[in-house]
Amino acid sequence: MPDDALGRPYGVPTRREPVVPNGVMGMLIFVATEVMFFSGLISAFVIGKSNALGGWPPPGQPRLPIEETALNTAALLASGVALFFANRAFQKDSPHTKRLLGLAIGLGGVFVLFQGAEWVALIGEGLTITSGQLGGYFYLLVGTHALHVVAGFLILLYTYRKLSEHELDRFTFWPAQIFWYFVVGVWPILYWQVYL
Amino acid sequence: MPVWMRFTRASLALAAVAVAWAADLAYACPSCASPLEENRQAFVDTTVFLTVVPLAMMGGFVWWIRRKLREQDELPEIAVPPNLLRDAGRFSKRP
């Protein structure tokens, strides 16, 4: 049966759907609080950085791997793009959805693994959370983001499982996407502020 | 009004005046009075940033909801094929 722009069958009275699904609304409110949380952290970092005597980064501290992290940033951004196309494929009921969602999860996993390897190397060079202002801010900001990436990664894995079982609906997929876009979107700001 | 109530109110008002009198400037902000120009600028920048971000988020959300509501209002209660909707003349919600 043909239907209109909202997917309603012609001629049949239907109940109006809420303008924003509950899951999406809940996730938007949560992400708004997260935006403020990260804004607070970034503001504290900017103030701390401008207050540092002897310039920034502080002398005698290990340098952060700018180029390698740029590649990792590209992987995370690509993950967001893959998720965007996974959603488009999902809306068209395309068989590519699973592959694209898998790609998004895989790239997210690459980011987490690289971050772990970077941390191990930096700790080996003496940069710890107590080694100074740089270490303190670095592990606080990047660590908080890493926790969010891991949470988003698990949420995407859950949606992948649901998709595999043919049980994924848009009310589950959309909130998961919002969270992942937030995680992807906040990272370039952190990279710019902390690494560059 | 009973005497005890008047006494309580007067005591509270007196306490409020006493607290206001005792209060002094608190230099709790490490950047507000910093001699470093870069630090003062960072304080101003982050203040602007933290003020604009929530307003932009709330404004964006209200705008998005309004747009969704208008989209929904433009559609008839019952889904009707577009050709029929055009023929509905002045009863049609669409021009």
pLDDT digits (tens, 9 = 90+) for B50-94: 999 999 999 999 999 999 888 887 776 666 666 666 655 555 555
Q: How far is CA A161 from CA A14, A111, A157, A165, in A?
A: 31, 21, 6, 6
| Residue in B67, B50, B61 with CA at minimum distance from that of residue A28 | B61
Residue A49 at interface with chain B, using a CB cutoff of 8 Å:
yes
Boundaries of every domain in chain A: 22-195
Walk along chain A (196 residues) and give the pLDDT tens digit of each residue: 566 666 667 766 666 678 888 999 999 999 999 999 999 999 999 988 888 877 888 888 888 999 999 999 999 999 999 999 999 999 999 989 999 999 999 999 999 999 999 999 999 999 999 888 899 999 999 999 999 999 999 999 999 999 999 999 989 999 999 999 999 999 999 999 999 8
Structure tokens at A39: 């804004």
- CB of A153 within 8 A of CB of A109? yes
**CATH assignment of A22-195?**
1.20.120.80
Q: Which residue of B has its CA nearest to A14?
A: B78
Domain total of chain B: 1
Cβ neighbours of residue A38 closer than 8 Å, sequence gap 6 or more: A144, A145, A186, A189, A190
In terms of C-beta density within 10 A (0-12 exposed, 13-18 middle, 19 or more buried), how is residue B12 classed? exposed
Query: pTM of the entire structure?
Result: 0.77
Put simply, the chain B residues between 16 and 55 with a CB less than 8 A from any chain A CB are: 30-31, 34, 36, 38-39, 41-43, 45-46, 49-50, 53-54
Q: How confident is the model at residue B30, as a pLDDT?
A: 62
A125 vs B: CB within 8 A: no
The answer to whether residue A9 neighbours chain B at the CB level (below 8 Å) is yes
Let me know the angle formed at the C-alpha of B49 by A28 and A111, rounded to the nearest 5 degrees: 55
Tens of pLDDT, residue by residue over B29-59, are: 666 667 778 888 888 888 899 999 999 999 9
State the DSSP H helix or E strand holding residue A19, giving kind and residue range, or none if neither.
Answer: none
Q: Do the Cβ atoms of A12 and B79 come within 8 Å?
A: yes
Task: Please state the separation of Cα B75 from the chain's center in Å.
Answer: 31
Contact indicator for A47, B42 with CB cutoff of 8 Å = yes
Nearest by Cα to A76 from A157, A169, A160, A150:
A150
- Whether the Cβ atoms of residue B65 and residue A62 lie closer than 8 Å to each other: no
- Tokens matching residue A77: 């951004």
Cα atoms in the Cβ-side hemisphere of radius 13 Å centred on A110: 17
* Cβ atoms A180, A62 nearer than 8 A: no
Please answer yes or no on whether A47 and B39 come within 8 Å at the CB atom: yes
Q: How far apart are CA B49 and CA B38, in angstroms?
A: 16
Q: What is the pLDDT of residue B74?
A: 77
Which residues on B lie below 8 Å from A2 (Cβ)? 81
B34 is in which domain, residue-wise? 3-91
Q: Using a CB–CB cutoff of 8 Å, tell me whether A33 touches chain B.
A: no
